[in-house]
């Protein structure tokens, strides 16, 4: 496994729509392992493949309950509203209060290619929305007024 370099805002790869994964190749499995290791190394709760320079629909998340790998994730249901502080490894030093859906249901494939459905609320729901946004070229700073972005830890 390897710790990968996290790409910062301003790099066009973070803005490109990503390609779906059609097969769990060794390369994909290895990328997922490296993304998990990278997420832990930089103390993040989630990481999307474009953030490590790979324009594919892959994300990893760990909100403290163990790592989850998501391939081709899609939000199929969402409800409510929740506003909380958010940061991003690709936007270091910046934070903002971001409005998200309070609960979401996400459909994806796991690292073995098995279809999974995740129903989430709280931090996991937020992380899922944040990472899926990355797969569509969206950063949290797009969702708020520039004046509402403040200096923060992440």
Distance CA 113, CA 98 (A): 32
Eight-state DSSP code of residue 138: -
Distance CA 111, CA 88 (A): 23
Q: Going residue by residue from 27 to 56, which x/- string records binding to Ni ion, judged by CB under 5 A? A: ------------------------------
Regarding 71 and contact with Ni ion (CB under 5 A), the answer is no
Q: Going residue by residue from 88 to 127, which x/- string records binding to Ni ion, judged by CB under 5 A? A: x---------------------------------------
Q: Where are the alpha helices (DSSP H) in the chain?
A: 26-41, 122-135
Shortest distance, position 114 Cβ to Ni ion, whole Å = 25
Residue closer to Ni ion (CB basis): 24 or 144: 144
φ and ψ at residue 150, rounded to 5 degrees: -125, 165
Residue closer to Ni ion (CB basis): 109 or 140: 140
Contact 127, 98 (CB under 8 A): no
Residue closer to Ni ion (CB basis): 24 or 75: 75
For 95: left if phi > 0, alpha if psi spans -120 to 50, otherwise beta; the answer is: beta
Of 17-25, 61-69, 81-89, 145-153, the window that binds Ni ion (rule: CB under 5 A) is: 81-89
Shortest distance, position 45 Cβ to Ni ion, whole Å = 9
The catalytic position among 81, 111, 131, 146 is 131
Of 11-19, 58-66, 83-91, 105-113, the window that binds Ni ion (rule: CB under 5 A) is: 83-91
- Kindly list the distances between the CA atom of residue 149 and the CA atoms of 88, 93, 98, 144, in Å, as whole numbers in the listed order: 12, 10, 10, 7
Which residues are at the interface with Ni ion (CB under 5 A)? Answer: 88
Query: What are the catalytic residues?
Result: 131
């Amino acid at each position: 496994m390897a710790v990968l370099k996290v790409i910062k805002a301003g790099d066009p790869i973070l803005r490109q729509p990503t390609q779906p994964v059609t097969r769990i190749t060794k390369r994909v499995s290895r990328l997922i392992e490296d993304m998990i290791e990278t997420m832990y190394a930089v103390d993040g709760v989630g990481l999307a493949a474009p953030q490590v320079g790979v324009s594919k629909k892959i994300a990893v998340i760990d909100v403290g309950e163990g790592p989850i790998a998501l391939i081709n994730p899609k939000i199929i249901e969402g409800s409510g509203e929740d506003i909380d502080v958010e940061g991003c490894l690709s936007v270091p030093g910046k934070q903002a209060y971001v409005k998200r859906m309070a609960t979401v249901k996400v459909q994806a494939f796991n690292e073995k290619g098995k279809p999974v459905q995740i129903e989430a609320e709280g931090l996991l729901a937020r992380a899922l929305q944040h990472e899926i946004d990355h797969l569509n070229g969206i950063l949290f700073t797009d969702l708020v007024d520039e004046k509402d972005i403040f200096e923060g830890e992440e």
